[in-house]
Structure formats: structure tokens, C-alpha cells
Homo-oligomer: A and B are copies of this chain.
Amino acid sequence: MDALDEAILRRLQRDGRQTNRELADAVGVAPSTALERTRALRARGVITGFHATVDPSALGREVQALISIRIRPQSREAIENVRDSMAALPETLGVFVVTGNEDVLVHVAVPSTRYLRDFVLDRLARRKEFVDVRTTVVFDYVQPREQSELPDTTGRDHRTSSG
């Protein structure tokens, strides 16, 4: 992960479909070099894939929500099962498994508040392992696509309170 890798990563996150030549010109190396670096990033698992991003509202899904779910029993199997079954639903944009009062947070996009009501009441609240389901409407969701290595914090005070 040197400066060249970072530059390539940043550009591929912004536009994953630019030609390898554009990419090479932009970062200042030969196309063959850019290609090799990009492949290495994939092979190392830094880049996990290239995906088209879809606007839910362009598909008639104008309402987004975060649904907090408390699961009992709080076993690994139960939670992983919920995570996977939620992720498999067409309404789901993302699933968080979290600490705290709730166990799972599900981010969904649906056509309307009525659809949301039916979705929550008919398909979630009925599940017996869900002892609590709370729904929060999402007004806005933005996803910056600029992940890179964090600035080095060496020299800052990173001692723990116990140290």
C-alpha cells in the first residue's frame, strides 16, 4: 500500500469503470503497471469487487428505514440466521450486527410507509425470536466512496487509561 496503490484505489472507488489507460494516465504510470497494481489489490483482498450502484428511489422505493431487532435467545446461530435471512430480502440494503440493547439493525428501502408498515408487522414482528422490533425512518443516507488508509497517528497520545 504505497502512494500509487492509494491513488489507484481512490480513483477506482470513484469510478470503477474508467479504462485502464485513463487510470494509468491519471496516476502517472504505464497501463501495464496500473493493471498489475489493480490486480494485486484484488488478489490481496483490498478490492473485494466492482459493483453498479443503484438508486432505490429510481426503482420506486422512496422510503428508507432502519429496523432495530432484539433477538432471543441471543445465540450465535440465532443472530447469524437473522443476519443472513434479512440480507436475503429484496428490501434490504444492509445488515448490522451490533452491541447494545439491540442485536441487529436492518437498513431497508421500500416503496411507501404503508409497505413499510406491512413489512414490519407481517414479516418481522411475527417472528418468535424477535422480542423487540423498532423502526426508524431514514431521511437521508450518504455513502462517501473514498476509503483509504487512515493518516498515521504515531506520536499522538494513544495510551489507554489503564496504561
Contacts and interface: CB of A to CB of B under 8 A. Distances in A.
A145 interface: yes
How many subunits of this chain does the assembly comprise? Answer: 2
A136 B100 contact: yes
Contacts of A66: 96, 98, 105
Contacts of A139: 97-99
Interface in A139-155: 139-151, 153
Secondary structure type dominating chain A contacts: mixed
A75 interface: no
Interface residues of A, number: 70
Interface string A103-121: 0010101110011001000
B16 A51 contact: yes
A31 interface: no
A111 B1 CA distance: 15
A61 interface: yes
A142 B92 CA distance: 10
Interface of A: 1, 9, 12-17, 44-56, 58-61, 66, 83-84, 87-88, 90-100, 105, 107, 109-111, 114-115, 118, 136-151, 153, 156-158, 160
23 contacts: A9-B54, A13-B54, A14-B51, A16-B52, A47-B53, A50-B50, A54-B147, A59-B148, A66-B98, A83-B140, A83-B142, A87-B143, A90-B147, A90-B148, A94-B144, A95-B141, A95-B144, A96-B107, A99-B139, A110-B150, A111-B150, A114-B160, A115-B150
